[in-house]
Chains A and B, each alone.
Chain A
Amino acid sequence: MSSSDAPPKLYAAQEPIFPKKVKGTFRNLKWVIMFVTLGIYYITPWIRWDRGPSLPDQAVLVDMAGRRFFFFWIEIWPHEFYFVAGLLIMAGLGLFLFTSALGRVWCGYTCPQTVWTDLFYTVERWIEGDRNARLRLWKGKWDLRKWRLRITKWIVWLLIAVATGGAWVFYFADAPTLLRDLLTGQAAFVAYATVGVLTATTFLFGGFAREQICIYACPWPRIQAAMMDEHSITVAYRDWRGEDRGKGKDREGLGDCIDCNACVNVCPMGIDIRDGQQMECITCALCIDACDEIMEKTGRERGLIDYLALTDEANEREGNPKVPVMRHILRPRTLIYTALWSLIGVGLVVALFIRSEIGLTVAPVRNPQFVTLSDGSIRNTYDIRIRNMTQGDAVFRIGLTSDEILRVDLEGGQDLMVDVPADETLLQRVYVIARPDDPAATADRTELRFWVEEFGTNERAYQSQSFIGQGTQ
């Protein structure tokens, strides 16, 4: 409680954090993940994929202008957006699954903010030294050495930031061409703007805002906290083992914690995990590595700080043996998420293999619903779109099946064959005519089915529609 009369401060200056270098299992895991994710991010646009003439040679390409998404041998058309929707749902379910099982693993290991901040810290440590050196430098005067170190660091950060912003745009255009255009000043304004914005945000977020983004700007911590339960694994301090903490050789009445602050010094979020669960903790486990090293040195059992579930506390306090992590992870909730996730995944893969290379959409022209011709025939108009998703030109025959006798005419009067170039869509206006005495002319509506058949392969696509007759009036 503040008893002073001064009004409490509503805004506080950022507390600088100087995380110390740490070695250990989880640190190694983080290195591997950083390498793999950054590698994938920077290299992917440069992978070539031969799709033959008139199609891009880039393995992964989001072609906005052509409204196509290329992913290795898969090509997604706009009407197949359900694939993307399906992947998004899988990503969501995956997040539920991982969060309910392992808490904020996403935050600690794979979040871009964490990965790039980690990379920026590595650069900082490499140029300015480890925790103590950085602390000294921070407190020191702005002399030549400080300027030199700071500027070197900022330049390296900036290079990483430019590479990061730069890599992003290569997913949206042919990478080698775009790189040349970017360097010669011929790329589109939006490319430069995107690179600029992403460079600036990477530089600021990774270099300066760091943990502040996680604590103040990011909504995920709140959402993830709500997705966890008492079985979710999280980083925690076994205070029943560590307390009362204390320094010194005489450990009479003291717990295992020697109050060396190693766990505090390595924390990139600047917190003390021994205070208990905290919103700021991203479960990066660096404090586990740090403390395990200390435990090793003092000859005590590792795991004073450890991945634990909340239920472990009560259990271990009673002196029961530790529950293996797997027992926490495998429980109905995570199994259901896994099942749902796999179901959608399998569905998407199946959909991918059974999808047809040709497609048809029929849009009836309903203004007017029908046209009466001079001999009393009733004519309906349809705009049909034939998609040729194969990589060669194709000829399609347009046909119609119905219980009634209906005539099909194409606008332009040609026979019922149309050419559709490779990887394109053709719009064709089609007229369907019922003789005046035909039931379809007088009925309300008559079911019919349009189909297209690829000449030579007999691949078919069809769509059901209805024919509107005078009965509607």
Chain B
Amino acid sequence: MTDQEHSNLHPDDPETTGHSWDGIQEFNNPLPRWWLWCLYATIVWALLYTVAYPAWPMISGATPGLLGYSTRAEVAEEIDRYDALNADLRTQLTEVDLAGVTQEDMPDLYNFSIQSGGATFATWCSQCHGRGANGVQASGYPSLLDDDWLWGGTVDDIHQTIAHGIRNEEDPDARWSEMTAFEGILSDEEISQVVNYVLTVSDQEADTTLAAAGETVFLDNCAACHGDNAMGDRYLGAPNLTDRIWLYGGTPEAIEETVRHSRFGVMPPWSGRLSEAEVRATAIYIHSRGGGE
């Protein structure tokens, strides 16, 4: 180094490390030694940690660690703990009269049902009925929030539907309705007449002459299930045609499609797959969402 490079140094300045970049020199202010030891300690700690806890990747999975710690096992333990805590509520739920489970009369059981039923719904039911239970209108997945129920909207009705399913051939208790596919039975003209008639009963725009003729076709072919006034029949699962809710859509095209080819929505039975307590909690949850009768 030349003397010029020294010229900025003060006699009291610490020594330099000897490093120099563009004439800028680095003072050597040594770090405290304990700091170094702390660094070593963290390295040792890190190594011990990887031995004590799951860490090193192996061909199939990671080393389990000497402490046998596993978050998965911890979660399972937690779940078991809560299951045990809720065991009483669950037994109570399977024995109680469902209609009696309300916020006022049985707040604990009610809240448990809303929470656990909500979780079951999110896991198993939301795929078809939607996360918000609004169904997919016009695609045959009914909204569970409104006041229109094909098979009845009391909590017991809902419970039966969940437990046994819809059009489930294995179970004699399953809900079962079947509409005839009228293509070939009715002429094209008759079909168009009855479609217009159905549109008028639900207060929609329609061709009045066709509709007038359609009334006879309806009374002859449809009224057996849907009733003379088209209000449907819950016993048969025949929908009310006079209201504003259409499971498969209320447009002329959608109605014609239904008349010609019929519809055949299916819901799986959940008893057997879910515990009775889960089915009941889910029924209470759905009943509480604003549509319960």
Encode B121-157 as 1/0 by CB contact (under 8 A) with A. 0000000001110100000000101111000000000
Give the distance in Å from the alpha carbon of A156 to the alpha carbon of B232 in the complex.
Answer: 87
Does any Cβ of B come within 8 Å of A353's Cβ? no
Question: Is B9 in contact with chain A by the CB < 8 A criterion?
Answer: yes
Closest to A4 in B: B15
Residues of B within 8 A of A184 (CB): none
B266 to chain A, nearest CB (A): 23
Binds A, one of B32-40, B76-84, B212-220: B32-40
Chain A positions within 8 Å of B131 at CB level: 367
- Tell whether A151 is near chain B: CB-to-CB under 8 Å: no
Chain B residues, CB < 8 A from A367: 130-132, 134
Q: Mark A377-398 against chain B: 1 for CB-CB distance below 8 A, else 0.
A: 0010100000000000000000
Query: Which residues of chain A are within 8 angstroms of B291 by Cβ–Cβ distance?
Result: 371
Q: Which residues from B are CB-within-8-Å of A412?
A: 102-104
Q: Does A431 contact B (CB under 8 A)?
A: yes
A270 within 8 A of B: no
Q: Chain A residues near B244 (CB, 8 Å)? A: 372-376, 436
Chain A 1-44 interface 0/1 with B at a Cβ cutoff of 8 Å (1 = within): 11000001111111000000000000000000000000000000
CB pair A11 B35 closer than 8 Å: yes
A1 touches which of B16, B130, B132, B147 (Cβ 8 Å): B16
**Does chain A have a CB within 8 A of B259?**
no
Assess whether A8 is in contact with B28, with CB atoms less than 8 Å apart. Answer: yes
Do most interface residues of chain B lie in helix, strand or loop, or is the interface mixed? Answer: loop
B32 touching A212, Cβ below 8 Å: yes
Interface hub of A8, A212, A375, A431 (most chain B Cβ within 10 A) = A8
Residues of chain A within 8 A (CB-CB) of B240 are 374
Q: Is B12's beta carbon under 8 Å from chain A?
A: yes
The distance from the CB of B18 to the nearest CB of chain A, in whole angstroms, is: 7
Contact of B31 among A12, A371, A411 (CB under 8 A): A12
Contacts beyond the supplied A275-B12, A373-B147, A374-B148: 14 A-B pairs with Cβ under 8 Å: A1-B1, A1-B16, A2-B18, A10-B30, A12-B31, A14-B33, A14-B34, A367-B130, A371-B145, A373-B245, A374-B240, A374-B244, A376-B243, A414-B104
| 9 closest cross-chain pairs (CB), A and B | A367-B132, A368-B134, A374-B243, A12-B30, A376-B244, A2-B15, A374-B148, A371-B145, A11-B33
Jot down 10 A-B pairs with beta carbons below 8 A, ordered by A. Answer: A11-B36, A14-B32, A216-B32, A275-B12, A368-B143, A371-B291, A373-B146, A373-B244, A379-B146, A412-B104
